[in-house]
Amino acid sequence: MVTAAQEAVAYRAGLNSSTVKPELRPAAFASQFDTTLPQQGASASSVIGNLIATASKGLQGHASPRFFGYVCGGSMPVGAAADFLVTSWGQNAASSWESPSAAVIEQTVCQWCLELLGLPLESGVGIVSGATVANTQGIIAARDTLLKRQGWDVYENGLFGAPDVPVFIGDAAHSAPMAGIRYAGLGLGRATRLAADDQGRILIDALRAALATCKNPPLVILQAGQINTGAFDPFAEAIPLIHEAGGWVHVDGAFGLWAHAVPELRDRLAGVDRADSWAVDLHKWLNAPYDAGLCIVRDRADLVSAMSARGDYLPEIGETWEPSESTLELSRRARGIPSYAIIKHLGAKGVRAMIAHHCALATYLADRLAAEADITIMNDVVLNQVAIACETDEKTTTVLKRIQEKALVYPSHGVWLGRQIIRVSIINHATDYADIDILIDEILETSRGV
C-alpha cells in the first residue's frame, strides 16, 4: 500500500516532463509481459513492485497537461487520492443502510452537480461508469416511460409486439447514444438521423419535418458539445416542439453540459434544463479519475422504475436515495466520492474558473493558428474543442502522425465536413498557456517540415 502510494505520487510528479505516449506499443508491451498463469504465489510487495516496473512501460499520459486527444479529463490529484480511500474502504455502495457514508457523500455530489449544471434539483441521478452507460440508462428510462404512457408494460412484455417508439438523433451525434439505442432494443436502423449544419447542430426544419411523421410519441436525442466542434443543439427551439408531440428529450452532454458552470457560456445551453433526461461525465470536464458519469432523469420515479433490480431481501423502497436503484449495477463502487472531493477542493468558483480557462485556451489556440496561411480552423470555437486542418488530408494525417510520434503533445485524429482533422480537446485541469504554446510550435514546425 505504501509502495503503491509512493509510486502514485512519483508518477504524477513526473507527468509534466514525460512524453505523451506509451513507451511500448501493444505488441511490444505484450511480448515483454509475463502472461503465464502463476502456479506459485508471490509476496504482495514483490507483486506491486513488479506491476510498477512492467506496467509503467505501457502507460499513456492521459493525465498529462499536454494530452489533447479525444475528450478526456485529467484525473485531478485530490480525486485520485479520494479514489485510493474508496478502494481502501472496500465499501459495497449499493445501499444507504449498508454504507451510510458512501450514500450520503454520493447523494451530496449528485445535488452539487445538479446545481452546477443548472438542471432541476429534484431530478433522479444515477452515478455510473461514464456517458455511454448514462446515455443508455436515459434511453431505457425514456423507452419504458413512453411505452407505459401508451399502456404497454415493458417489464412484463418486453418489446415484442409493443407500440412503435420513433427515435430521432442528430447526424453529428456521438456513437455512445447510438449504442444506447441498440442496447435498449430500439434498433439503430430504425432510428432516423436528423440533418445537421456545418457545426453539427440539428436543423430545426429537419426536426419539424420528422415530428410531423410521428404517429406515436417519439424519443429525440439532442447533444450538448459535439466532439469535433463543441457545438450545441438548439435546445430552446427544439425541446418545446418535441414536447408538443408528446415526446421525450434525452440530451447527451458528456462534456458540454459543464458549460453551465460558467455564466458567460450559459447562452449555449439555453433551454436544456427543459429536457427529460441527460447524460454527463465526471471523468471528462470535472477531471475525476476514471470512471464516473451521471445519468440524470427529471422524474426520479422514471429512472428508479427502469433501473431498480430490487430483490425481496433488500430494504423496502422509500424516500431515501438508494445508489443502486438508479443504476444498472447492484453491487457497486462508490465512484462518486472522488468527484465530491474535487468539487469540495475547487468550490463552484474553481470549477467555473477551470472551464472558463480551457475555453480561453481553445480560443487562443485557434486564433494563433488561424493566422497561418496553410492552416484552417474547421469549427467555430464555442467551447474547448478545436478542429485543425492543413491544406490537404494527406498533410494533416502526416503532421498528426509525426506529432504523436514525437509526443511532446498528444492531439488526436478526426474527420469533420469530409476532411481529416487534428482534433484538440483542452480539458485537463493542469493545462496552461505554456502547454498550448508547445502544441502550436509542434503543429507549425511539423507542418513546415512536411
Binding stretches for ligand PLP (CB under 6 A)? 71, 130-132, 174, 176, 225, 227, 252, 254-255, 281, 293
- How near is the Cβ of 312 to ligand PLP at its closest, in Å? 33
- How near is the Cβ of 200 to ligand PLP at its closest, in Å? 10
Angle at the Cα of 283 from the Cα atoms of 280 and 284, rounded to 5 degrees: 70
Provide DSSP, 25-56: -HHHHHHHS--SPPSS---HHHHHHHHHHHHG
- How near is the Cβ of 130 to ligand PLP at its closest, in Å? 3
- How near is the Cβ of 182 to ligand PLP at its closest, in Å? 14
In the bound state with ligand PLP, the residue whose beta carbon lies nearer, of 186 and 399, is: 186
Angle at the Cα of 106 from the Cα atoms of 100 and 109, rounded to 5 degrees: 140
In the bound state with ligand PLP, the residue whose beta carbon lies nearer, of 245 and 362, is: 362
b or e along 86-97 (b: 16 or more beta carbons within 10 Å of the residue's beta carbon)?
A: beeeebebbbbe
- How near is the Cβ of 291 to ligand PLP at its closest, in Å? 7
Which regions of 49-137 does DSSP assign to beta strands (E)? 124-128
C-beta of residue 144 within 8 angstroms of C-beta of residue 154 = yes
In the bound state with ligand PLP, the residue whose beta carbon lies nearer, of 65 and 225, is: 225
In the bound state with ligand PLP, the residue whose beta carbon lies nearer, of 165 and 257, is: 257
- Residues 6 or more apart whose CB falls under 8 angstroms from that of 328 comprise 128, 133, 136, 137, 307, 309
Distance CA 22, CA 30 (A): 13
Provide DSSP, 202-231: BPHHHHHHHHHT-SSPPEEEEEBS-TTT--
DSSP state of 294: E
- How near is the Cβ of 279 to ligand PLP at its closest, in Å? 7
- How near is the Cβ of 252 to ligand PLP at its closest, in Å? 5
- Residues 6 or more apart whose CB falls under 8 angstroms from that of 33 comprise 54
In the bound state with ligand PLP, the residue whose beta carbon lies nearer, of 49 and 234, is: 234
In the bound state with ligand PLP, the residue whose beta carbon lies nearer, of 172 and 239, is: 172
Q: With residue 258 as reference, give the H or E element that holds it.
A: none
In the bound state with ligand PLP, the residue whose beta carbon lies nearer, of 252 and 325, is: 252
- How near is the Cβ of 97 to ligand PLP at its closest, in Å? 30
Q: In the bound complex, which residue of the shown chain has the CB atom lying closest to ligand PLP?
A: 130
Number of other CB atoms surrounding residue 245 within 10 Å: 18
Distance CA 26, CA 397 (A): 21
In the bound state with ligand PLP, the residue whose beta carbon lies nearer, of 174 and 423, is: 174
Distance CA 285, CA 427 (A): 6
- How near is the Cβ of 448 to ligand PLP at its closest, in Å? 32
Place of cell 422514471: 302
